[in-house]
Structure 1
Amino acid sequence: MKLEIGNFNVKDVIFGEKTMFSNGVLSINKEEALAFIKEDEHITELDIVIAKPGDSTRIVPVKEAVEPRIRPDGRPVFPGVTGDLESAGEGRIHALKGCSVLGVGMHYGSFGDGLIDMSGEGAKYTLFSELINVCIVADTDEEFERFEQQKKNKAIRWAAHRFAEYLGNTVKELEPEEIESYELEPITKRTEKENNLPSVVLVMQPQSQMEELGYNDLVYGWDMNKYIPTFMHPNEVFDGAIISGSFMPSSSKWSTYDFQNFPTIKELYKEHGKSINFLGIIMSNLNVSLEQKKRSSIFVAQMAKSLGADGAIVTEEGYGNPDADYIMCIAALEDVGVKTVGISNECTGRDGASQPLVTLDEKANALVSTGNVSEIIELPPMENVIGELEALARDGLSGGWAYDEILGSSVREDGSIIMENNAMFCGDRISGWSTKTMKEF
């Protein structure tokens, strides 16, 4: 299975007379773009705002991020979501690099939404401060969840995916500046050299804990709460087979942009045939009951053993209850002789002194931390706010609060903020972007 990603490097994004890409500049006809997004009757209020690195701009509540892409052959970029159900992971796709489409609430936030600062101290926490962000700022008629802390945010999230495909159309017929190629031979057809290297599998645990459908990550448009661990080709992940959900504190989230560019997968590809034999991905899930967690760990361990894996990387989207799935999976792999490394963030409390994961096991002896969700962050005011700043304090964003007897509100009168790292959009970069280091005191 071979996937080619044709890249077009975006140097600037502007509003212009025509939606087009030329000489590194993405131009958007705003009136036409607004009309396209509002074809969804659930979008009631709408604006499009461009945020660039270095701007004195704060964006909140951010619900989703998507890289603009298009398939030259006409197949949907996100099968089962933006079009008919088709196989992913093979063929050619064109991508606008250096930019993203953000879905942003115009008035209301929710538990899984986050914040992005485009400059200053806050910019270091999230990859999206480094990108040119085309922000869909919207309100919807989804009244059933307006005042719920946990929202599905379907209209805004779907708008982000549809608009990413719309912008991708600008490069559908153009010749890419560079082409990334990803190909793995079938496991039983590999060279002697590859087969003699240590075999490694990546175990991914996307968010799937909400038993009511509509909150979880989707695989080929299917809610992952109904999913059991399955062997997948890594190209499927790059190629739109999985999209992000609306559940899980924001710093722990894998946005759709993360799935499209998953750095850990890219690193495994780089080492394939050199230091490792990259077998592929066991796409697992995250569960609620102990029995469900145990069942998934059995599936994962059996699959890894049957594939002949010598080693595994396990990575989870989230923390808290999902830590039980994460640690149980690592222990199950170690029990069948697969040496395993875990990658996750941790929740060690505001003082950093608490147990990092909800549960631990002596077999989980190689863990990589990408940050503490509870770390307190204070940031000065920004000149501009895209969305609604008060949402951070008012709407139950994990990491924000309306009142604390010591710290007051997360949003102060002067526009400065205090919050937990929890509220940084994809702030812990668990997919492999992380630049954080750990120090022992």
Structure 2
Amino acid sequence: MKLELGNFYVKEICFGDNTSLKDGILTVNKEEALAVVKEDEHITEAELYIVSPGDRVRLVPVKEAIEPRYRVGGGPVFPGVTGDLMQAGNGTTYALKDMSVLVVGRHYGGFQDGLIDMSGEGAKYTYYSQLKNLVLVADTDEIFEQKEQQKKNRALRWAGMRLAEYIGAAVKDLTPDEVETFELEPITKRSKELNELPSVVLVLQPQSQMEEGGYNDLNYGWDTNRMLPTFMHPNEVLDGAMISGSFMPCSSKWSTYDFQNFPMIRRLYKEHGKTINFLGVIMSNLNVALEQKDRAALFVAQMAKTLGADSAVVAEEGYGNPDADFTGCIVALENAGIKTVGLTNECTGRDGASQPLVSLDEKEDAIVSCGNVSTLIRLPKMETVLGELESLARDGLSGGWSNDEILGASVKEDGSIIMENNAMFCGDQVVGWSVKRMVEF
């Protein structure tokens, strides 16, 4: 399987008469773009904004981030989701780099929604402050979700994907600035030299805990709660097979943009043939019942052993209950003789004194921490807010609250805020973007 990503680097975004890319300047016809958004009758209001690094802008509640792309030769950017089912990870896809489409709600922030600051102290907590962003701020008539802590955000999320496809089509007839090639030899056809290198498999545990449909990450449109651990080519992940869901406190989430650009996959590719033999990806799942967790761990370990893995990297999306899946998977791999490194965040409480993971085992002796979800963050008033700042001040938004007997409300009268890291949009970046550092005391 061979994937060619043709990259177009975006230096600036502006609105104009025709949606096009020239000399790094992306021009967007706002009227046409909003028409694409409003193809869903559930979208009741929508507006587009442009924000860039350094802007005095705060965005909340942020629902999703997507990289604009175009599939050369036809077909949806997200097979099984925005169009017919087809093979991802093979062929050529064009990508607009250094930018994203951000989807922001209006009045109904929920458990899984987050915050982005484009400048100041808050900008360092999220990767998306570094990008040029086309921001869709929209509201819907999905009444059944408006008072729920947990929302599916379907209309908004799908509108973001349609918008990203519309923007991506602007480069369909252009020549990329560069082409990246991602290709792995079939496992049984690899050279003697490659097979002598340490073999590594990447185990991903996307969010899949909700038994009701509409919340979980999707694999080719397939609800990941319904799947068993599945061997996938890494190109599929990079090429639109995986879609972010609408479940998890936001700092723990993997956005669709994260899947499209998964840094750990790119890093393993970089080392392939040099220091390691990269076997591929085992896409696992996260369940609630202990028996389901144990079953998934056994499947992962058997699959990795059968593939001939010497070592594994395991990454979980989320924390708390999923820690048991994460721990169980690592232990099962270690029991199979496969040396394993785990990537995760922690929930050690606001004072940092609590147990970092719900489930621990002495065989978990190589864990990379991406930070504490409960860390308190204080940020000054921002000049402009896109969305609705008050959404952070509701107990339904994880990491924000309406009142605390010591700290008061998350949103202060002067517009400054206090919140837990939980509410920072994709802030922990277990996928590999993280710029956090450990400090030894």
Kindly, what percent of the aligned residue pairs are identical? 71
1:67-146 equivalence runs, <5 A: 67-146=67-146
Matched, 1:171 2:171: yes
Give the structure 2 partner of residue 56 of structure 1. Answer: 56
The AA in structure 1 aligned to 2:376 is I
* Residue 106 of structure 1, CA deviation: 1.4
* SS of alignment partner, residue 390 of structure 1: helix
Matches within 5 A, 1:10-409: 10-394=10-394, 396-409=396-409
Listed one character per residue, the Cα deviations across residues 287-324 of structure 1 (whole Å, up to 9, x for unaligned) are: 00000000000000000000000000000000000000
Q: Shift in Å at residue 12 of structure 1? A: 0.3
Shift of the alpha carbon at 1:234?
A: 0.1
TM superposition shift of 1:74: 1.0
Instruction: Give me the whole-angstrom Cα distance separating, in 1, the residues matched to 2:200 and 2:190.
Output: 14
Give the match for residue 419 of structure 1.
419
Report SS of the residue matched to 2:60: strand
The residue identity in structure 1 corresponding to 2:196 is N
**Is residue 109–residue 395 contact of structure 1 (8 Å, CA) maintained in 2?**
no
Name the CA distance, whole Å, in 2 between partners of 1:433 and 1:378: 22
The secondary structure found in structure 1 opposite 2:181 is strand
TM-score, normalised with respect to structure 1 = 0.99
User: Which ranges of 4 or more aligned residues in structure 1 deviate by more than 2 Å?
Assistant: none
RMSD: 0.6
Question: 1:394: Cα distance to partner?
Answer: 2.0
CA distance in 1 between partners of 2:222 and 2:336 (Å): 30
Q: Could you tell me which amino acid in structure 1 is paired with residue 125 of structure 2?
A: Y
Matched to 1:126, the amino acid is: T
Distance 1:42 1:395 in 2: 26
Q: Deviations over 1:59-81 (max 9, x none)?
A: 00000000000012111100011
SS in 1 for 2:202: strand
Aligned partners of 1:345, 1:65: CA distance in 2, in Å? Answer: 20
Q: Alignment partner of 1:77: what SS?
A: coil
1:395 offset after TM fit, Å? 5.7
Quick one: which amino acid aligns to residue 431 of structure 2? S
Question: In structure 2, what is the Cα distance between the partners aligned to 1:32 and 1:275?
Answer: 48
| Distance in 2, Cα, partners of 1:307 & 1:49 | 47
Q: Secondary structure at the match of 1:326?
A: helix
SS at match of 2:135: strand
| TM superposition shift of 1:257 | 0.3
SS at 2:389's partner residue? Answer: coil
1:10-48 Cα offsets, whole Å, 9 max, x none, are 000001111111110110111111112111111011111
Per the TM alignment, residue 142 of structure 1 is displaced from its structure 2 partner at its CA by 0.7
- In structure 2, stretches of 5+ residues that fail to align are none
TM-aligned CA distance change 1:439 to 1:364, over 3 Å: same
Give the 3-state SS of the residue equivalent to 2:137 in structure 1. Answer: strand
**Structure 2 CA distance for aligned equivalents of residues 140 and 222 of structure 1:** 24
- Mapped to 1, the partners of 2:180 and 2:60 lie a distance apart of 33
CA distance in 2, matches of 1:34, 1:359: 46
In 1, Cα distance between the equivalents of 2:397 and 2:73?
40
What is the distance in 2 between the residues matched to 1:422 and 1:146? 21
